[in-house]
DNA sequence: TTCGTAATTTAGTCTTGTCTAAAAAATAAT
DNA sequence: ATTATTTTTTAGACAAGACTAAATTACGAA
C-alpha cells in the first residue's frame, strides 16, 4: 500500500470505471479517451502500474486491475462519493456542482478521516447521483435497478439514479423538477421516436425523450 | 489569479509564515529549512514566483510577498484553519491530529466551497490551536494576547492558543488536562529556572517548565 | 581594507508525467 | 492469404521540481 500519485490514482479509477461496463480487458485507447491523454502516455503509465502490481498488463492485449488495484480504485470511488454527499448534504451544493470538487477531494490521503466522514454523514449508501458508496472493504450494495427506457406502458416506478452525470443533464432534470425519489407511472410510449410520457405522483404529466430515458435509473 | 501548483502554494505559505515573526526580507536558507528542501531548489522557485509577480525578489538580497502573493498565502492559511476546525468540530479529531490532513485539504481549489464551509462551521474566528482565521478578504482578527511566560505572580489569565503546534506538545497538554479556555492564576515563579506554578480554576495546582510557558498564549 | 566564511546562485542531472512522430503489432477487409 | 487499417508501443523531447557540486556574492572579523 505504498502511496500513489494523483496521476496513478486517476488511471486506476478510470480503469475501474471502464471495467464496469466492459467485462473484457480494457484497451489503451479507451483509457486515453477517458482521461483525455495521449495513447502513448497511457502506454507508458501502464508499464509503471504493472510494475507496481496494480494491473495485469500484456503488451498489445489490454489491461485489467489486480485485486490490489481494484481495492485501491474502489477506495477512491468510496472517497469521491462520500465527499459528494458531504458537499450536497452539509454544504448545500446541488448535484450538478459537486463532481469537480470531489475529483480533488478524493485524492486527500487519510482512510481514518474517510471513515469518520462516513459516520458523520450517517453512513449513506448512495451518493447524490444515486451511485452506491463502497464500504471500507470495497463492498458495494447492489440494488435491483433498470433504465427508465426499459419500462412498458402502465408500469409504476421511482427514480433512483442517473447514468449520465453531466451538469447540463442534471440541470435539465432540476428544471423539470425531477429528482431522486420521484415516483411516476408510464402512461405512454411513442412508437416513432421512443419518447415516454409519464404521470408523476404530484399529478404533472411529462414527455421525455429517448435520450433522457436512457440515462435515468429506476426501481419498481 | 491563474491557478498555482501545490508546490508554489507551499512556498508562498512558508514565506508568509516567516514574514510574521521576521519583519525584514526572508532569506533563501530560511525558506529551505522551513519546507525541507535544498537552498538551490528554493533559489530556482523564487525566480518563478517573481516572474508571476507573487514575490519581490532581488538576487542575493532575499524576498518579500507582493500584495497578490500575500493575498494568496492568506487564503491558504484561511483554508487550512477552516479545515482544521472541520476536522475537530465535525469529525472529532483531536488538535494534535489535524495539521497533516489540513495540509492536504488546503490545496483543494474552490473558494465557494470554503465560504460555504465557513458558514457551515458557524463562522469560527479561531482554529483548534487558537490561531485566527482570515476572512475571505484576508483580514485577520487581532486579539490582545501574550505568552504565559510573561505573566507575573498573582496574575489571572485564560489560555487562548499555542505557539508550538507539534503533536508531542499538544499531547502533553492533553495529558495534564490543559486546553484552550482553561483559566488559572499564577501562584509562583521559580527564580532559578523560570518554571511557573499555576492554580487552575478547578482547584488543581500545576508546575510548568519555562519551555512550556513560552509556547502558550494567554489573555487576561 | 582584505580575507575567510556563510549564504546564495548557477550548472548539470534526475524523475515524473506529458507530448508528437514513427515503428510495430493486431485486426479487418479484400 | 495478402493487404489495408486501426491500435498500441517505442523513440525522442520537454516542463516542473527536485538534488549535488561548483561558482559567486555578501558580510563579519581581523
Ligand atoms: Mn481524480
Ligand atoms: Mn456521483
Ligand atoms: Mn501545504
Ligand atoms: Mn492550526
pLDDT of residue B197: 97
Question: Is the distance between the Cβ of B24 and the closest atom of strand C smaller than 7 Å?
Answer: no
Can you read off the three cell numbers belonging to residue B42? 528554493
The second-level CATH assignment, the architecture, of B6-65 is Orthogonal Bundle (1.10)
pLDDT of residue B1: 58
* CB proximity A93 to B under 8 Å: yes
What's the rounded mean pLDDT across residues A70-82?
Answer: 98
Residue B117 to residue A92, Cβ atoms within 8 A: no
Q: How many angstroms separate the alpha carbon of residue A96 from the centre of ligand 2?
A: 9
pLDDT at residue A29 greater than cutoff 80: yes
CATH topology match: A82-142 vs A146-219:
no
Nearest by CB: B101 against A90, A101, A113? A113
Provide the 10 A C-beta neighbour count for residue A199: 16
Q: Which tens digit of pLDDT belongs to each residue from B82-123?
A: 999 999 999 999 999 999 999 999 999 999 999 999 999 999
Cβ pair A196, A190 in contact under 8 A: yes
Q: Which of B50, B2, B5, B7 is nearest to B26 (CA)?
A: B50
List chain B domain ranges.
6-65, 82-142, 146-219
Question: Is the distance between the Cβ of B46 and the closest atom of strand C smaller than 7 Å?
Answer: yes
- Element spanning B184, H or E: strand B183-189
Cβ pair B166, B150 in contact under 8 A: no
Fold classification of A82-142 is Arc Repressor Mutant, subunit A (1.10.10)
Per-position DSSP letters for chain A, written without gaps between them:
-PPPPHHHHHHHHHHHHHHHH--SPBPHHHHHHHHT--HHHHHHHHHHHHHTTSEEE-TTS-EEE-HHHHHHHHHHHHHHHHHHHIIIIIT---TTTHHHHHHHHTT---HHHHHHHHHHTT--SB-TTSPBPP-TTS-------EEGGG--TT-EEEEEEES---HHHHHHHHHTT--TT-EEEEEEE-TTT--EEEEETTS-EEEE-HHHHTTEEEE-
Q: For each of chain B's 220 residues, which pLDDT tens digit applies?
A: 579 999 999 999 999 999 998 778 999 999 999 999 999 999 999 999 999 999 999 999 999 999 999 999 999 999 999 999 999 999 999 999 999 999 999 999 999 999 999 999 999 999 999 999 999 999 999 999 999 999 999 999 999 999 999 999 999 999 999 999 999 999 999 999 999 999 999 999 999 999 999 999 999 9
| Percent of chain A surpassing pLDDT 70 | 100
Cα–Cα dist B165/A89, whole Å? 32
The residues pairing with B186 across neighbouring beta strands, listed in sequence order, are B198
Cα–Cα dist B88/B92, whole Å? 5
To the question of domain B146-219 being in CATH 2.30.30.90, the answer is yes
Amino acid at each position: 500500500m505504498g502511496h500513489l500519485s494523483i496521476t496513478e490514482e486517476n488511471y486506476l479509477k478510470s480503469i475501474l470505471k471502464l471495467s464496469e461496463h466492459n467485462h473484457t480487458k480494457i484497451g489503451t485507447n479507451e483509457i486515453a479517451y477517458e482521461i483525455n491523454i495521449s495513447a502513448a502516455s497511457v502506454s507508458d503509465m501502464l508499464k509503471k502500474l504493472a510494475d507496481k502490481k496494480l494491473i495485469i498488463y500484456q503488451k498489445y492485449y489490454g489491461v485489467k486491475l489486480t485485486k490490489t488495484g481494484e481495492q485501491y480504485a474502489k477506495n477512491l470511488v468510496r472517497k469521491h462519493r462520500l465527499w459528494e454527499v458531504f458537499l450536497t448534504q452539509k454544504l448545500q451544493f446541488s448535484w450538478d456542482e459537486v463532481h469537480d470538487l470531489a475529483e480533488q477531494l478524493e485524492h486527500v490521503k487519510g482512510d481514518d478521516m474517510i471513515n469518520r466522514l462516513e459516520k458523520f454523514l450517517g453512513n449513506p449508501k448512495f451518493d447524490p447521483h444515486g451511485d452506491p458508496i463502497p464500504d471500507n472493504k470495497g463492498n458495494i450494495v447492489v440494488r435491483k435497478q433498470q433504465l427508465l427506457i426499459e419500462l412498458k406502458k402502465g408500469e409504476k416506478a421511482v427514480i433512483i439514479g442517473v447514468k449520465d452525470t453531466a451538469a447540463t443533464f442534471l440541470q435539465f432534470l432540476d428544471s423539470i423538477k425531477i429528482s431522486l425519489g420521484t415516483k411516476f407511472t408510464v402512461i405512454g410510449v411513442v412508437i416513432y421516436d421512443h419518447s415516454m410520457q409519464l404521470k408523476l405522483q404530484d399529478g404533472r404529466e411529462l414527455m421525455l425523450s429517448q435520450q433522457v430515458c436512457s440515462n435515468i435509473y429506476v426501481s419498481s
